[in-house]
């Protein structure tokens, strides 16, 4: 067990699972930290090779891609939902918003349970290296001290469905 400021050997892996069937579709246990941020595009390429079409929707952790690769996915017509990093400036902005700006919403959880969350949606959020705008959802009530921030290119998907889809990914992880 490493102590503070010490490194230890670890293994980086990437798994892709079908959300509906829970079937393992792809795995890579030979990742290097330097190449991990290209893995989502590598999976999309693999999927196109085996199925002759790009995947319709990918839900993933933000560490497996960059903003330029998000643009590449969007250009290929691949839908995505991922986390956005919580910068101090963004977190401060969200905390400064009045309570009336947050929309209450009930989302489904595993086992037939529900959870009450609050959401602020920005349909045209900008990122520093992304060439367009993305839909951004800031969500409180998911069990974290700070809001969870999702970005997606799925502008027509209901807010509730975006949150529930990402929450399923968190449960798998």
Instruction: Say if pTM beats, i.e. exceeds, 0.95.
Output: no
Exposed, middle or buried: residue 162 (CB in 10 Å: 0-12, 13-18, 19+)?
buried
Identify whether the C-beta of residue 61 lies closer than 8 Å to the C-beta of residue 85.
no
Quick one: 85 exposed, middle or buried, by C-beta within 10 A (0-12, 13-18, 19+)?
exposed
pLDDT tens digit at each of 173 positions of the chain: 556 666 666 667 777 777 777 788 888 887 777 777 888 898 999 999 999 999 999 998 887 888 999 999 999 999 999 999 888 999 999 999 999 999 999 998 767 788 899 999 999 999 888 999 999 999 998 888 889 999 999 999 999 999 998 887 765 44
């Amino acid at each position: 067990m490493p102590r503070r400021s010490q490194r230890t050997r670890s293994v980086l892996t990437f798994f892709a699972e079908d959300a509906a069937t829970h079937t393992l579709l792809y795995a890579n246990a030979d990742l290097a930290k330097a190449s991990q941020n290209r893995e989502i595009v590598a999976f999309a390429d693999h999927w196109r090779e085996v199925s002759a079409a790009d995947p319709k929707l990918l839900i993933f952790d933000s560490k497996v891609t960059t903003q330029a690769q998000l643009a590449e996915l969007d250009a290929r017509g691949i839908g995505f939902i991922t986390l956005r990093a919580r910068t101090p400036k963004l977190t401060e902005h969200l905390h400064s918003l009045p309570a009336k700006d947050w929309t209450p919403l009930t989302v489904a959880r595993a086992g037939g349970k529900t959870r009450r969350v609050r959401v602020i949606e920005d349909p045209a959020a900008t990122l520093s290296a992304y060439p367009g705008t993305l839909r951004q959802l800031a969500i409180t009530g998911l069990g974290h001290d700070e809001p969870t921030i999702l970005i997606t290119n799925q502008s027509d998907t209901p807010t509730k469905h975006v949150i529930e889809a990402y929450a399923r990914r968190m449960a798998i992880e």
